[in-house]
């Protein structure tokens, strides 16, 4: 072992430690790796930053934009819901159709986006069929992971291993080269869930049923919002006159949310008549969603939402008149400008451990939190004093624009369903155009008329030019953390090869496991990759282990395609932990799952996927 080898191993150990513990964000860790490789002289600056110009990085970023267009126009939800409509109410049929539909979508767009779109529909199906969500949501999550391995663009590891083949002079994988194995794995996964998995799935009915709706309108009834709506009239003598909404602190001090402010329109002079004016005054009261700088005026009518006792306390404190809400007031909760959405707090959210007051949530995000739901807690949680936890569901109300802004902050929020479908009819009308762009890109990729990066960039650009995605939205849909992770870890694999560590480890594997034959080595690589992906991201796992697979195949004197595909596919086998993949985390709270649920279902499923892959890969890619 040389000094360079020890230095490289030290940097790699640092990266793995921080990936596993999450003491630092993964993109920060990747950047530290790049800087460390340059400072130690293991790589030149040109080599260390080469990952940022790699075609794989450009392709992945472009695919995020294309996936955003598919989501923004409602195309994904339309396809998924149409497939799910034929599922009926039989639990077995439901499970099969859910796994088939999510696998189909995940083959062409991100797993997380697919599950977030279909989750409300699956919850509604579970309610209609009187089936516990815990019987269906792990199949939803696992189906998305299996679907990702069915095409070249289904998941980043597939692109990583394909590009490695290209770099070393081999023919890269084509678009549908993964499909035969992907179909076999999906079929085996569905069969496993039907014969074994459904016996291991828990049958838990959450104390509070969260996300059990498909439409935004249903949220109003499920959260019993009509019962908590009131009209408050600002009297002329009220101390509230002249104060801004921020100064009034309805939410902070009284736990009451302002839904709408209704104000008599001002009279406007039209014609001068002597010493006076002929004035015009609109007869219709104007209702608006006010900003925090809006000042109250006499005779303002404030539509608020909150517990009756809190509203009464507020009214008494500010000398306001209280009136019961009317039937038409419910329309203020949802219309083309404002609406409702459910938002889940993911595991690595920066909001965890803080209250809404500490976060200044209303001012920071310009949204009102109407309720907090927590799996396993039947009692109502205080909006003021409750520290947020992983899995909490917030019911937020505000403008659709601000609700959509949360979707761009993927680390902190997971917005369920597709609130953008209510934002703009124009966006929904572009769904056929988004479908044509997607089909055109796929044809270009399958026919290999242009390089993969060219086809994906052209597709992303067309999504923007056609209005399916605005340019600012496009930047928001790109998961920059993943992009920096890939670009930062690619030089790590270069360093491992350059200092000779890949060759050294490969020789050890070849002399031990390789002595039993290529099939045993193939199985070992698949299991090793599957183990790594339980604690590292699938992309980082593929970047680190793909060069090892290539070197091992070359040492054995066999073609490397089967070995590299094993790494690409194995990196998606994130079944044994709720934190191994974002989709597992996403369904954990809604299904009331425990860590052990993933472990007892995921481990045997990984073994089955290993057996299927080892049997099929030599047939598809002979040694």
pLDDT in tens, 439-456: 999 999 988 899 999 999
Give strand pairing partners of 127: none
**Are residues 346 and 325 part of one domain?**
no
Q: Please indicate, yes or no, whether residues 220 and 328 belong to a single structural domain of this protein.
A: yes
| Burial track 547-564 (b if 16+ CB lie within 10 A, e otherwise) | bbbbbbbbbbebebbbbb
Q: Is residue 290 part of a domain?
A: yes
pLDDT at residue 235 tops 60: yes
Instruction: Specify which residues 350 forms β-bridges with.
Output: none
Domain membership of residue 108 (yes or no) is no
Are 300 and 346 in a shared domain?
A: no
**pLDDT tens digits, one per residue of 71-97:** 788 787 777 777 777 777 788 888 999
Q: Are residues 229 and 321 in the same domain?
A: yes
Question: Which tens digit of pLDDT belongs to each residue from 400-419?
Answer: 778 878 876 777 888 876 55
Average pLDDT, the chain: 85
Determine which of 270-279, 371-380, 465-474 has the lowest per-residue pLDDT on average: 270-279
Task: Answer yes or no: is 529 within a domain.
Answer: no
If asked whether residues 375 and 317 sit together in one domain, one would say no
291 within a domain of the structure (yes/no)? yes
* Residue 222 counted as domain residue: yes
Arithmetic mean of pLDDT, 374-395? 83
Closest CA to 437 of 410, 404, 464: 464
Q: Which of 480, 432, 478, 438 is nearest to 459 (CA)?
A: 438
Which pLDDT band holds residue 145 (cuts at 50, 70, 90)?
very high
End of a domain among 393, 413, 433? 413
The answer to whether residue 347 sits within a structural domain is yes
| pLDDT digit string, tens, across residues 547-596 | 999 999 999 999 999 999 999 999 999 999 887 888 887 788 778 888 88
Strand partners, 369: 396
Domain of residue 243: give its range. 216-332
Of 332, 348, 369, the one marking the end of a domain is 332
Same domain for 302 and 240: yes
Residues 236 and 319 in one domain: yes
Reported as a pLDDT band with limits 50, 70 and 90, residue 123 is: confident
Instruction: State how many domains the chain has.
Output: 2
Domain end position, chosen among 378, 413, 448: 413
- Given pLDDT bands bounded at 50, 70 and 90, which one contains residue 282? very low
Is 462 contained in some domain? no
pLDDT value, residue 581 = 86
Q: Is the pLDDT of residue 307 over 90?
A: no
Per-residue DSSP letter, 514: G
305 shares its domain with 369:
no
Same structural domain, 327 and 380: no
**Is residue 5 predicted with pLDDT exceeding 50?**
yes
Judgement on whether residues 277 and 350 belong to the same structural domain of the protein: no
Domain match, 327 and 404 both: no
Give mean pLDDT, residues 188-193. Answer: 96
> 163 or 340, which is more confident?
163
What CATH number did the domain enclosing 347 receive? Answer: 3.30.70.1450
Q: Are both 320 and 345 inside the same structural domain? A: no
Please indicate, yes or no, if residue 238 is contained in any of the structural domains.
yes
């Amino acid at each position: 072992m040389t000094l360079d080898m020890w230095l490289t191993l030290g940097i790699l150990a640092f990266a793995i430690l921080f990936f596993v513990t999450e003491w630092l964000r993964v993109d920060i860790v990747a950047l530290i790796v790049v800087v460390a490789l340059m400072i130690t002289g293991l790589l030149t600056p040109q080599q260390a930053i080469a990952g940022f110009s790699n075609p794989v990085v450009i392709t992945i970023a472009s695919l995020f934009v294309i996936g955003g267009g598919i989501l923004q126009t409602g195309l994904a939800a339309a396809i998924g819901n149409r497939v799910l409509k034929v599922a009926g109410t039989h639990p077995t049929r439901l499970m099969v159709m859910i796994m088939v539909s999510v696998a189909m979508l995940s083959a062409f767009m991100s797993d997380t986006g697919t599950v977030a779109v279909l989750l409300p529909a699956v919850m509604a199906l579970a309610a209609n069929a009187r089936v516990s969500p815990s019987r269906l949501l792990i199949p939803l999550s696992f189906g998305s992971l299996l679907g990702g391995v069915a095409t070249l663009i289904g998941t980043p590891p597939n692109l990583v291993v394909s590009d490695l083949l290209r770099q070393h002079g081999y023919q890269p994988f084509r678009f549908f080269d993964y499909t035969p194995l992907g179909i076999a794995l999906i079929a085996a996964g569905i069969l496993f869930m039907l014969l074994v998995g459904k016996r291991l799935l828990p049958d838990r009915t959450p104390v509070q049923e969260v996300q059990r709706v498909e439409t935004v309108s249903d949220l109003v009834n499920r959260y019993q919002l009509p019962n908590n709506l009131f009209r408050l009239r600002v009297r002329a003598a009220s101390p509230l006159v002249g104060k801004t909404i921020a100064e009034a602190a309805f939410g902070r001090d009284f736990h009451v949310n302002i839904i709408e402010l209704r104000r008599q329109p001002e009279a406007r002079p039209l014609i001068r008549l002597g010493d006076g004016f002929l004035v015009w005054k609109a007869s219709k009261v104007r209702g608006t969603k006010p900003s925090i700088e809006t000042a109250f005026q006499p005779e303002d009518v404030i539509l608020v939402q909150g517990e009756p006792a809190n509203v009464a306390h507020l009214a008494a404190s500010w000398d306001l008149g209280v009136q019961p809400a009317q039937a038409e007031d419910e329309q203020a909760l949802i219309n083309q400008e404002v609406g409702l959405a459910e938002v889940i707090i993911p595991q690595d959210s920066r909001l965890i451990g803080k209250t809404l007051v500490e976060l200044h949530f209303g001012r920071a995000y310009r949204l009102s939190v109407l309720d907090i739901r927590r799996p396993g807690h039947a009692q109502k949680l205080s909006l003021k004093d409750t520290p947020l936890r992983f899995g909490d569901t917030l019911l937020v109300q505000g403008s659709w624009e601000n609700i959509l802004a949360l979707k761009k902050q993927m680390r902190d929020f997971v917005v369920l369903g597709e609130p953008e479908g209510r934002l703009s009819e124009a966006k929904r009308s572009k769904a056929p155009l988004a479908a044509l762009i997607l089909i055109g890109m796929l044809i270009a990729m399958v026919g290999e008329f242009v390089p993969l990066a060219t086809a994906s960039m052209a597709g992303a650009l067309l999504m923007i030019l056609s209005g399916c995605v605005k340019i600012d939205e496009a930047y928001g849909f790109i998961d920059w953390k993943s992009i920096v992770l890939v670009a930062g870890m690619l030089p790590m694999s270069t360093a491992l090869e350059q200092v000779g560590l890949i060759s050294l480890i490969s020789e050890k594997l070849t002399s031990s496991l390789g002595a039993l034959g290529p099939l045993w080595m193939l199985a070992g690589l698949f299991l090793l990759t599957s183990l790594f992906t339980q604690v590292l991201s699938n992309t980082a796992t593929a970047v680190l282990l793909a060069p090892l697979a290539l070197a091992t195949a070359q040492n054995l004197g066999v073609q490397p395609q089967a070995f590299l595909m094993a790494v690409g596919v194995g990196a998606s086998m994130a079944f044994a932990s709720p934190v191994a993949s974002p989709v597992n985390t996403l369904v954990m709270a809604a299904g009331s799952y425990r860590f052990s649920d993933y472990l007892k279902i995921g481990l045997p499923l990984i073994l089955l996927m290993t057996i299927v892959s080892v049997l099929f890969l030599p047939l598809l890619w002979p040694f």
